[in-house]
Amino acid sequence: MESLKVIIVRDNKGNPLLAKKFSVEEFIKGCVFQYENWKISRPQALKAHLIIICPELELYQAKHAVKKIRERSDVIPIIAIRLENSIVYKAPLFDAGLDDYLCMPFDGRELTYRVDALIRRTIPLNSDMPETFQIADSLLDYSRLTIRFNADKAFRLTQRQADLLCFFCKHPDVLLKRGEILTHVWGKDDYFLGRSMDVIITGIRKILSASPVIRLETIHGKGFIFHTNKK
């Protein structure tokens, strides 16, 4: 079985006492660790099963790191270990693309459970997922991360956009509740993932505007309907 690779993002000039107090290697066993500075000067090296943001980073440094990671990949799970437990500190990181947040001090077992859950969520939920979907005037190619309308130019998709569109294509013209979508696509229903989903759906709507047939309707307070016929 492939070894779990974990990237730890830290500040070489950060608080040495805090860095010493926080040692993720003690809690996550059997992994290959790679260390990156918060400036993420080598985005091409961000190939891992998990990325951990260390607590010695200032908020602006942590936010910068998350943004740089998300520019490279919207799939690799990112967890931040922080001293602050206020929404004022959490919200900017989740808005930047963070997946999970753990406040110090914590039980090492909790970190282990959270890491396991994050990695499970990156495993395709449907191993028998079709490679292509033909819906109305669109052809969604999941393996190539593209969608085209009426055989026109293909639009590139991010992995999460493709995941969401696949779920919508499998359930067209019916109300899909927000929690149901989050659980099936992300493996978890929570507030911050919901905000991330809204950002991704905004991008999907821009792509779908190229189709005169397909539209994604928001049913406020409930969820979404993926319409595949003109109304």
In tens, the pLDDT along 193-211 reads 888 899 899 999 999 999 8
Question: Is pLDDT above 80 for 229?
Answer: no
DSSP string covering 76-102: S-EEEEES--SHHHHHHHHHHT--EEE
pTM of the model as a whole: 0.59
Q: How many helices (H) and strands (E) does the chain have?
A: 7, 12
In three-state secondary structure terms, 131 is coil
Question: Who has greater pLDDT, 196 or 44?
Answer: 196
**Which residue did the predictor score with more confidence, 189 or 80?**
80
pLDDT at 184: 82
Q: What is the pLDDT of residue 125?
A: 46
Residue 105 has pLDDT above 50, yes or no: yes
73-94 confidence digits (pLDDT tens): 777 889 999 999 899 999 999 9
At residue 4 the predicted structure's pLDDT band, cuts being 50, 70 and 90, is confident
Detail the DSSP E strand segments found in 76-192: 78-82, 100-103, 132-135, 138-141, 146-149, 155-156, 175-177
Q: How far is CA 145 from CA 82, 106, 136, 161, 199, in A?
A: 34, 39, 18, 9, 18
Are 92 and 64 in contact by the 8 Å Cβ rule? The answer is: no
The answer, yes or no, to whether residue 1 has pLDDT greater than 50, is: no
Phi, psi of 122 (to 5 degrees): -85, -10
Alpha carbon distance 34, 96 (integer Å): 22
Is residue 140 within 8 A of residue 132, CB to CB? The reply is: yes
pLDDT band of residue 51 (cuts 50, 70, 90) is very high
Q: Could you check whether the bond before residue 105 is cis, i.e. omega within 30 degrees of 0?
A: yes
Cα→Cα distances 18→11, 26, 58, 80, 115, Å? 11, 15, 12, 15, 21
pLDDT in tens, 114-151: 888 887 766 554 445 567 888 888 899 988 889 998 87
Is residue 158 exposed (0-12), middle (13-18) or buried (19+ Cβ within 10 Å)?
Answer: middle
Q: Is the pLDDT of residue 19 over 70?
A: no
Given the structure tokens 């669109």, which residue do they identify? 138
Taken in order of first residue, the domains within the chain and their CATH numbers are 4-121 (3.40.50.2300), 132-227 (1.10.10.10)
Residue 23's pLDDT band, with cuts at 50, 70 and 90, is low
Q: In this predicted structure, what is the pLDDT of residue 80?
A: 94
Buried b / exposed e over 13-44, threshold 16 CB at 10 Å, is ebeeeeeeebebeeebeebeeeebebebeeee
179-193 mean pLDDT? 83
Three-class SS of residue 40?
coil
